[in-house]
Structure 1
């Protein structure tokens, strides 16, 4: 059976009309004869939305019991059994009631789609995983229900339901979205114009990305390689030269002229791994591209124009920015260059050739150095070998004249040329080839001792000798240079790879703790056996001076590795200017020019590490402010309702008692006074929790630790509970447990919070059980319920302030109970952990240190009379105090509780 098709209406905010659009589409399809049913729709009591539902067939919902309340959910089996052509299912990101077959509604929809039924659904942009944190930053409201972006991206159709912020606020003010009593709060909080505008932009950008993905897939499926100018994309090609900064800025200006245009930078590396690009320049240019909002890419290829154009066509680029050729005029006569070749092959892609300071400067000196290829000592040795070897061969072969033919003489001289090429490189080999041809002509080609050749065949042999000698010398020299380049590249790669690993680990010396910046400097010092490596920064308080200023007073030491740090660029044998403000100074020995690229890469990475370090320091300074702001926002959101409710109840009761217009009976007066007292007690607990949490965070909570017995503290905690709560609690505290070291008042608060929380979630058919046991020098108090439990991934979150994970029916408290309990327990030297109750439910474990009298009073300790007491194994087992099952009362209570909760897990 073919899979059904999914259509999603995406909204920027609640109330834009997603559900109305979904129902309208269902009605239109129904009129055309399509079999349409409503699987699940929330009308939110909006009359126009409810009117559309009346004209459609509605599949009955599944009723589910949860925490003593009944909820209705999508009945997947009923929809599949009904087998319509189209099912309308609202709220894609909805979380199902615990106990449902699937956790999320989008998983229910997947089952319906697999059954071959088309589905139309709705979702708001704030529920998408990828933008969930951004929405929280914008609105200050966390979204608990989310849906993976991939689920929405896989949809066959996604349609944006859009509305201007002003129009949406008008709908809100007219009461078309929320009830009248909620309108003012909504308009002043979530539905502010700025929030709605930002959410609208998020929805538009997310949908634009999906459209881009669809376009890319369509072009790939249909093998379309020509550019479609649906959206401006500017690609800038970087060679690693100094002109790259100019090109990036020029490309960014071109992209800025088109609102929303993308900026992409690409660098082509040679497939053989050899490159003459400057890694320091590329690192700086990559940072520049990313700071301008672009992205950096690197591709491999042997033909630069083809690689650049393949990349540009692959990203559907509309414009390409290249630098004008740096090659000289003579070189351009032999090759058109990358810019001209790329322009000729670009097709519909516009190409911008940008001039820069390096234009026509050529690479003369660089090319000349590359042509020499070998160190000066070897070149000199090559010339010496040619000067010595060629005359010596001439003398030896002259004595063998008549025994050795001219062809043999030429081959022997050819071998000498190759030997000179291997030793001294190209130019000594060229000298040897030309000198050898003259010696062969003068001494061995008839007529001898004259620079003439009568025999055409001999002339041909000499010409071939010169051509072969030059060719072989060039190839041998090129191979030797490539081998050296490969060796150098491997060495550089290994150094840079080690550098990257050190940066990631922040560790450069046998496990010592280094920051990324310190790791870079230490690795550089060790790699090149330097005495000291120092990163200097120009003093910002000094007057603006050129970066080449060497005055020590103009520089500040940022970081150093090794001995005495350098105070200015003149203090070292080598220095590398990273940018206008930073310089890396090396002291210990002069490094060869061939290491310059790697040193510049170290310097560039040091600059990046310094910036990241400073950003991290700034973020660390801002983090307390952000945490305080987040706490303040959460406090206002939670307290605005939870403090107001008991205060309003108490005020209403007191106002009623003071009313002169009503004569209250004595029973009514008692009820009103009781209501006011309960509300004020509840308000007192909320305020006390808030004050205690603030003291914990400020570190000013006073702790009075003393021995406390579990059999004393648990009843006191139960006495502090509401009567209805304490009636649902049973205790099983064994005798003979050691005392805990804790603050009695604070421990009582902890137990009250935990037991009240367990009672709230425990099903009515079974009580909450409080037990205790000791292990070694720790005592554990367990509060056990049979409620729905908490998913493993959310167990740390429940201890955060103002959290109510999935608490649908709880409208009391500000979500501080568990957070405060953990804080108080840790302040007393203990801990709180969460375990699963066997057979289902949650167990909160309070772990505290014990106080042992035998340790406090060693003089009273006597020799054990029981032989088992002297046995270490028996002593260890005696350390574990379990409920006394020999006590009939204790045995009956534990057995009754176990029978009540069941033990299916034992039978399994």
Structure 2
């Protein structure tokens, strides 16, 4: 029988962005294998005209490509049949995610690779992280570019070997600027769009995280394949076992400190729930632990288990943990002597996992003993049970004596046992025990010799009576426990349904104070429920269901504190102690709703004040900056006219024109001041509306004294902005760029992203060091600019007005020298909340003396 053909191995060179050197690395591997005597051919390689890549290709055998004609144009593709016919040991195939030209035998190059591997040929290929199908949406949000050519993650994930080709964003941009990736005429556009530092950093992180997941998967597969159950300390993973008790926060913080000692370590918090689902800790306390774990950088996990120590160790083993943090037992020494401690049991089961015992303030404090509830049954059933306990033994005795069965002890025991079971089902444990005792006395008096006396003549009857009492007590205990568990299960199911409804309301955002009190009234069947708030003058009702039941918390039948200022008051049948847990969950939910209300109101007020302050500050700076020039012109013109009696008509006309122009300019500035007063009063807001950049940008660059090149794409999407304020911002930026560019043309570009549109103002000036870029947006910062006519307010004004209309303004290096100002505007076709900012002179174009930052 012939052996099955070996499937070819797949090696993938994975990169974070074009130009990091994947093809170069693949060809380098091909040359090394050739030097070792391996038969290697190149099936398809795209050099993109890069000289270093072309040098790597020299000396390697290249399989001729197949020509495909499509729409009167001839394209070349990988010739899969020729590669299989050549039957090399290894074939190098570039661009795994490539889509073949229509008319090819297969639609995707990945399908060609699978066919070649099926023929037993090893394949070495390349792919960029942005071409993976699962990351397509993330890449589009980052770069604004939708990748049309993708490959399923499974193709790359199941590769025999994955090599990450990495390069820092700065080094990649230097390669681009040196012309090692694209042609010179594409360098500026690429560096200011796709190859921006932020984009490259995000893509690099995506590649590292995706490969890290692949490594973890491979390690897990290897451990499972080799049945390795003990942990491998690949990195520090610390598991903190919490009970939900008061000491849990101490354990969690100690575990977080241990995790911080090792870089890259993980903190996992585990809480064990009883497998029957009936024993649940206080939801409020568990919620606090979840919030604390998140704030400390850990993750919270709830697991189910019959035995706490086994569940904790199983979780730690599955997580490949290196340490378990557990608290010292709170139980007294006597109990520890007989039952042991959870920490000891975890240490005995942990194996190679370290166990860290943490002491706390609750050590050796015996928990207060609480008398268990006598019965979960209602009062009516308990009364019925006691009556049955008294009457059934008497009735059974009378029936047996009427039947003259005084010598049939087994029959009597069975009848009395059945009565005891009936009593247990009706009234619970204590009535059943009383029935068993009365039945024992009746059996002794009437059915064992000598009758009529509490004595037993025959030893066999003694054994029979003892067995009867034992069985009766055991059956009564089991029946009572089953009834308790049934009641607990019903209550747990009700609580779970209530908690689920609360969770759904949180996730769907439907929770309000009114909804919570209405749901609370419905859940507990109360007459009315009120949420009360304590003010300096007393209590007031925030929300009520069924009418306000109380003006103060003391007037309610049941009350629970929400926070230090709010209390829930319930009017109706008092709640049982077992219902308090659900009531606390409602109180926690109410607290979250109130906190959300406060935060939302505070955020709205802060956004309004911040936007108003930014606009007011920007306009004040602009006005104070621009007032000097028209005032000086007016004064000089007035002085000339007042003392120039001998001026000729032409000079007088020039002074009149200067006076008129300066007066008009001063009038516009006064209008700005009036607008500012309206802004501070909250009466003026930016007129935000969808605007086309084709309407705004040409006006912004018109009248700029210097070479400006506007490169505006007609397909650029519309933006949400105030046209007048945007025009002023762009005019300031362009004027600044012209002043520092020393005659070099200033380019104004537009780049569309997924949720914004960037307006780029590119200059060829001296640039600004990265450490100084934020400072140049502050008032009176000129950073070496010695030109006249400005006080260093231009960029401060531009930044303030940008924030007022919901835009952002930043700076980046211009490849080859200079500075690029990046103004990001929200797209009109992306839904977003309207900013609560205000602006002056909205919808009206205004000019500005653009002195200031470079």
The TM tier, using the shorter chain, reads: 0.5 to 0.7
* 1:221 maps to 2:225: yes
* 1:477 maps to 2:480: yes
* 1:528 maps to 2:512: no
Please name the residue that 1:594 is paired with: 578
Cα displacement string for residues 12-45 of structure 1 (whole angstroms, at most 9, x for unaligned residues)? 4444322211001011122233332223323233
Please name the residue that 1:779 is paired with: none
Q: 1:425 aligns with which of 425, 428, 437?
A: 428
Cα displacement string for residues 403-443 of structure 1 (whole angstroms, at most 9, x for unaligned residues)? 34555555555444434333332233334444554665577
Q: 2:52 aligns with which of 48, 51, 54?
A: 48
Map residues 821-840 of structure 1 onto 2, 5 A cutoff: none
Change (3 A) 1:65 1:407: closer
Give 3-state SS (helix, strand or coil) of 1:368's partner.
Answer: coil
Once the two structures are overlaid, the 10-residue window that deviates more, 391-400 or 221-230, is 391-400
Contact persistence 1:90–1:121 (CA under 8 A):
yes
* 1:162 maps to 2:166: yes
- In the alignment, structure 2 segments of 5+ residues that lack a partner are 611-689, 726-826, 832-854
Change (3 A) 1:285 1:114: farther
Contact persistence 2:238–2:321 (CA under 8 A):
yes
Please name the residue that 2:91 is paired with: 87
Give 3-state SS (helix, strand or coil) of 1:224's partner.
Answer: coil
Give 3-state SS (helix, strand or coil) of 1:351's partner.
Answer: strand
Q: 1:209 aligns with which of 208, 213, 230?
A: 213
Please name the residue that 1:59 is paired with: 63
Task: Count residues with an aligned counterpart.
Answer: 639
Contact persistence 2:429–2:477 (CA under 8 A):
yes
Change (3 A) 1:404 1:300: same
Q: CA deviation at 1:613?
A: 8.7
Contact persistence 2:407–2:448 (CA under 8 A):
no
Change (3 A) 1:485 1:822: closer
**Relative contact order, CA 8 A, sep 6+: which one is greater?**
2
Cα displacement string for residues 666-720 of structure 1 (whole angstroms, at most 9, x for unaligned residues)? xxxxxxxxxxxxx99xx79x58887x945899899xxxxxxxxxxxxxxxxxxxx
Cα displacement string for residues 449-493 of structure 1 (whole angstroms, at most 9, x for unaligned residues)? 766656444433333233223212211211221222233334444
* 1:274 maps to 2:274: no
CA distance in 2, matches of 1:693, 1:603: 47
Map residues 163-202 of structure 1 onto 2, 5 A cutoff: 163-164=167-168, 168=172, 171=175, 175-179=179-183, 199-202=203-206
Contact persistence 2:530–2:548 (CA under 8 A):
no
Change (3 A) 1:243 1:576: farther
Map residues 595-744 of structure 1 onto 2, 5 A cutoff: 595-604=579-588, 693=718
Cα displacement string for residues 101-137 of structure 1 (whole angstroms, at most 9, x for unaligned residues)? 6665444434443444322122333444555565566
Contact persistence 2:273–2:280 (CA under 8 A):
no
Give 3-state SS (helix, strand or coil) of 2:232's partner.
Answer: coil
Change (3 A) 1:411 1:238: same
Map residues 91-106 of structure 1 onto 2, 5 A cutoff: 91-94=95-98, 104-106=108-110
CA distance in 1, matches of 2:131, 2:592: 35
Q: CA deviation at 1:217?
A: 0.8
Give 3-state SS (helix, strand or coil) of 2:41's partner.
Answer: strand
Please name the residue that 2:27 is paired with: 23
Map residues 489-500 of structure 1 onto 2, 5 A cutoff: 489-496=492-499
Please name the residue that 1:836 is paired with: none
Change (3 A) 1:468 1:378: same
Change (3 A) 1:330 1:12: same
* 1:9 maps to 2:5: no
CA distance in 1, matches of 2:155, 2:133: 10
CA distance in 2, matches of 1:151, 1:620: 48
TM-score of the aligned structures, taking structure 1 as reference length: 0.58
Q: CA deviation at 1:212?
A: 0.5
Give 3-state SS (helix, strand or coil) of 2:124's partner.
Answer: strand
Please name the residue that 2:734 is paired with: none
CA distance in 2, matches of 1:397, 1:535: 63
Contact persistence 1:235–1:321 (CA under 8 A):
yes
Please name the residue that 1:113 is paired with: 117
Change (3 A) 1:687 1:4: closer
Once the two structures are overlaid, the 10-residue window that deviates more, 243-252 or 14-23, is 243-252
CA distance in 2, matches of 1:99, 1:564: 77
Contact persistence 1:229–1:318 (CA under 8 A):
yes
Please name the residue that 2:351 is paired with: 347
CA distance in 1, matches of 2:183, 2:581: 68
Contact persistence 1:573–1:588 (CA under 8 A):
yes
Give 3-state SS (helix, strand or coil) of 1:307's partner.
Answer: helix
Change (3 A) 1:146 1:530: farther
* 1:317 maps to 2:321: yes
Q: 2:239 aligns with which of 227, 230, 235?
A: 235
CA distance in 1, matches of 2:193, 2:376: 71
Cα displacement string for residues 628-667 of structure 1 (whole angstroms, at most 9, x for unaligned residues)? xxxxxxx9xx99xx99xx99xxx99xxxxxxxxxxxxxxx
Contact persistence 1:284–1:604 (CA under 8 A):
no
Change (3 A) 1:518 1:40: farther
Contact persistence 2:389–2:423 (CA under 8 A):
yes
Give 3-state SS (helix, strand or coil) of 2:372's partner.
Answer: helix
CA distance in 2, matches of 1:459, 1:47: 106
Give 3-state SS (helix, strand or coil) of 1:403's partner.
Answer: coil
CA distance in 2, matches of 1:106, 1:623: 51
Contact persistence 2:240–2:325 (CA under 8 A):
yes
Contact persistence 1:504–1:516 (CA under 8 A):
no
* 1:461 maps to 2:435: no
Q: CA deviation at 1:521?
A: 5.4
Once the two structures are overlaid, the 10-residue window that deviates more, 374-383 or 310-319, is 374-383
